[in-house]
A and B are shown apart, each in its own frame.
Chain A
Amino acid sequence: MFKDYKYPREAYGKTLRELGRERKDIVVLDADLSSSTKTKFFADEFPDRFFNLGVAEQNMIGVAAGLATTGKTVFASSFAMFVVGRGYDQIRQSIVYPKLNVKIVTTHAGITVGGDGASHQIIEDIALMSVLPNMNVFVPADCVETEKMIRAIADHKGPVYVRMGRSKVPTIYDDSFEFHPGRASILKEGNDISIIAIGIMVSKALEAAEELKKKGISARVINMSTVKPLDEETIIKAARETGGIVTAEEHNVTMGMGSAVASVLSEKYPVSMFKCGIPDVFGESGDYKELMEKYGLTADNVVKTSLNVLKRKR
């Protein structure tokens, strides 16, 4: 179904480099993972505006905060596990509470990290970042969206968390796509059920919709890349018009995007729904595709789940 597979983190690095050429206020920080997060693309061209803080993520967050107080637009990157996990209190007190202009852009989130295993596979970062007041949480689905998102957040004043994975993802958008914080994008219209997905699961949702079509079921596919602020209107409309919702994400099913959708539905428009995601267990080593199979992050599982939700639909 898809042909063009690319690394969102490369799109991130390239976009940063372009922003660096356009704007003097862009400053980038990393914590000894610049070759993996691709902030290296920026570092190589703008060594004066790039600071490697070494393996010291808490300090990196504080330094980002300090730079932001002097009027810089700061991007701080590392693996999601280490920035969010190690730096939570620093993110909370030094960036989000004072509402500073820092973009925490992480890579290698979720189980698709693969071989490194559970120590590196953060499945709770969306939860941790979404519960912070003032924080925005975005998850791009492909390289086009990554570029548009990075450009959008560079223009937005205030804290943002962006989560990317390690692996390649298929390109689903063309260049005409625009990213707007707080606005989900509908990738496919449908009337029988809605599949709301983020990140690597958006392409799986599209595949699932194709499968469902063969069974005569028309599925709407929504990319909820703006997890916070959440596009409640699109969720409620989908519930009203299709009567059933399936969510899909490479994150703990507890307190991820699906939980955010569920809480909107339960308060405003209860319909039958089910969440696909990592079932509140730690990940493990393995090839990322095998891991996705094992933890149900597949088009097949989204199809199965959709059929179950359809059965429960009133």
Chain B
Amino acid sequence: MILKQMITMKENFVKSREERTKRLEEMALKIRRHIIREIYEAGSGHPGGSLSATEIITALYFHIMKHDPKNPKWENRDRFVLSKGHSCPTLYAALAESGYFDVKELLTLRKLGSRLQGHPSMKIPGIDICTGSLGQGLSVAVGMALGARLDSRLYRVFVLLGDGELQCGEVWEAAMAAAHYKLGNITAIVDRNRLQIDGNTETIMSLEPLPFKFKAFGWHVTEVNGHNFNEIIDAIEKGFKIKGKPKVIIAHTTKGKGVSFMEGSVAFHGKPPNDEQFKIAMKELGEY
């Protein structure tokens, strides 16, 4: 009897996770289509790092984070800092799909008069800090986390970093401060796509052994497949149970994920698809 109950519980658990994954995967696919269209319409932008970060940002906005699109300044909202600001097409799509603004506005990216600047700005509801010049977001997250502590608020602070970005010294200043002040309310996620503008991170300026670096700085480290929702979500949620320590999730990803000719491509770090590439990309992403 008990055994049977346990089996049903397990089945329900598996089923609800499958449903969750299905829902999130559908959203991720939608967001990828937005990304390609946004950048194509803009005629410039950064598809590679936007596509590699899609599951991470989707998991945050559509499962993990407490936020209210109707009340973007809600004081207890979880905070998100897109430290690698060039991946904003993904963030803009997630904000639009959440209901912060109309999805139609996505097509105004980078156009004169648009709220959707080429890198995140304060013009957009749901964005708390400007980014674009790399290396600064983790510092801002530390400030947000200290602010939460001062006000005894329970919100969490999430920050997405590029792997190339980790070459910035300020990131490690901030990493040191987060551990020193025991900021357990910070979860950093590294989009470990192993590419930056000029090539592979390990040839340009090697980051490995990356987990050990964060460990040595006093962080709790988890590594996941950054395109697998269960892995991302489990790692973030398990991290919540570890108190008094900042958490970093090194999310192994593929730059350009989801569009065959962009995958693993250095060229598509910061280049829009041309007309033909746009059509192929949209087809691959399920739009006929």
Q: Which A residues lie at the B interface, using CB under 8 A?
A: 27, 48-49, 51, 53-54, 56, 58-72, 74, 89-90, 92-94, 97-99
Contacts and interface: CB of A to CB of B under 8 A. Distances in A.
Interface string B142-155: 11111110110000
A310 to B, nearest CB: 48
B68 interface: no
Given A62-B138, A69-B144, A56 B177 contact: yes
A70 B122 contact: no
Among B128, B139, B143, B147: residue with most chain A CB under 10 A: B143
Contacts of A60: 139
* Chain B, interface SS category: helix
Given A56-B173, A62-B139, A48 B150 contact: yes
B219 to A, nearest CB: 15
Contact of B133 (A27, A63, A93): A93
A72 B150 CA distance: 10
Given A56-B177, A59-B177, A61-B139, A66 B145 contact: yes
B60 interface: no
Nearest to A61: B139
A299 B8 CA distance: 90
Interface residues of B, number: 34
Given A54-B177, A59-B173, A72-B150, A66 B142 contact: yes
Contact of B143 (A48, A54, A68, A93): A68
A94 B140 contact: yes
B166 interface: no
23 contacts: A51-B181, A56-B173, A59-B139, A59-B176, A62-B136, A62-B137, A62-B140, A63-B140, A63-B143, A65-B129, A65-B140, A66-B140, A66-B145, A67-B146, A67-B150, A68-B143, A69-B128, A70-B151, A71-B75, A71-B151, A72-B147, A89-B133, A93-B132
Name the 3 nearest CB pairs between A and B, nearest first: A66-B143, A62-B139, A70-B147
Given A66-B139, A97-B121, A58 B128 contact: no
* Chain A, interface SS category: helix
A63 B150 contact: no
Contacts of A51: 146, 181
B136 to A, nearest CB: 5
A99 B121 CA distance: 11
B207 interface: no
A102 to B, nearest CB: 10
Nearest to B119: A93
Contact of A58 (B79, B130, B139): B139
A64 B139 CA distance: 8
Among A64, A66, A68: residue with most chain B CB under 10 A: A66
A70 B142 CA distance: 11
B170 interface: yes
Given A62-B143, A63-B143, A94 B151 contact: no
A27 B139 contact: no
Contact of A49 (B128, B131, B150): B150
A62 B174 contact: yes
Given A62-B170, A63-B177, A72-B150, A98 B129 contact: yes
Contact of B142 (A48, A59, A68, A98): A59
Given A59-B170, A62-B138, A89-B133, A67 B177 contact: no
A66 B177 contact: no
B36 interface: no
Contacts of A94: 129-130, 136, 139-140
B170 A90 contact: yes
B141 interface: yes
Contacts of A92: 133
B136 A63 contact: no
A80 B14 CA distance: 58
Nearest to A49: B150
A69 B147 contact: yes
Contacts of A68: 143
Contacts of B131: 93
B103 to A, nearest CB: 25
